[in-house]
Amino acid sequence: MTFHIITLFPEAIENYLHSSILGRAEKKEIIKFNLINLRPFGLGKHKKVDEKPYGGGAGMVLMSEPILKAVDSIRKKLKKKTKVIVFSAKGKQFNQRMAYDWSKKYEDIVMISGRYEGIDERVKSILKAEEISIGHYILTDGDVAAMVVASAVGRLVPGAIKLESLAEESHWNLLLKKEKEIPENDGLEYPHYTRPEILAYKGKKYRVPKVLLSGNHKEIKEWREQ
């Protein structure tokens, strides 16, 4: 799977995408990242990408033409199974089900990262893009949202993470509860503890729950399910 991210500031996100689990998956060629700088597609001598909104109002809006030109520049690389996303506070709430479905269904995901007051609405119509929100709050840009989607979807592409590492995660059980190898619970992952057994901090002691030290796998399983 290839993630194509159109942004004014590719340097703001490239370190994250090329690090840790996503970076390892990229090295294995399980996933790819194609960061497209919007500025070179800007209009005129100064490569203008934004303009004042019709009807008045504060702030600037990203113009449609530079974005459409940026998408056209990668169109030949896109396969039939392609998803185009624009980020917006009024978009559909992104969730684990969507991440899982996209990881199975699409070969390319194109994400358009907005700035300022947003993106000219005609971009969504022309590209038949889906409007997505990652939460009920406002960000300074869409770059963070693009990283969220790349992380949530990319880690689910087969081979990026071992299945056993995913099987006990929050939301995973409810997502795949029809599969026999996945135990059913409320869909949220249990708390985790590691060494030391007794943590001393500012005059107080914090202990690992006794059941986790018991060696009784049945009781541990019941505790985790609760």
Do 13 and 104 lie in one domain? The reply is yes
Question: Is 164 a member of any domain?
Answer: no
Q: What is the pLDDT of residues 147-202, one digit of tens each?
A: 999 999 999 999 998 765 665 555 555 565 554 444 444 567 788 899 999 999 89
Question: Is 183 a member of any domain?
Answer: no
Question: Is 216 a member of any domain?
Answer: yes
Question: Is 167 a member of any domain?
Answer: no
Do 154 and 223 lie in one domain? The reply is no
pLDDT of 168 reads: 58
Q: What's the rounded Cα separation, in Å, for the pair 46 and 55?
A: 25
Angle in degrees, CA 87, 40, 80, rounded to 5:
55
Question: Is 165 a member of any domain?
Answer: no
Question: What is the mean predicted confidence (pLDDT) over 102-117?
Answer: 94
Do 127 and 43 lie in one domain? The reply is yes
Q: CA torsion, points 61, 64, 67, 73, in degrees to nearest 10? A: -170
Do 34 and 103 lie in one domain? The reply is yes
Among the residue ranges 10-24, 45-59, 181-195, the one predicted with the least confidence is 181-195
Question: Is 91 a member of any domain?
Answer: yes
Give the pTM.
0.83
Altogether, the residues listed in the chain come to a count of 226
CATH number, position 12? 3.40.1280.10
Cβ-in-10-Å burial (0-12, 13-18, 19+) of 38 comes to buried
**Phi, psi dihedral angles at 43 (to 5 degrees):** -95, 145
pLDDT(63) > 50: yes
Do 46 and 154 lie in one domain? The reply is yes
pLDDT of 179 reads: 42
Q: What's the rounded Cα separation, in Å, for the pair 183 and 168?
A: 8
Q: What's the rounded Cα separation, in Å, for the pair 7 and 9?
A: 5
The number of domains in the chain is 2
Do 216 and 107 lie in one domain? The reply is no
Enclosing domain of residue 79: 2-158
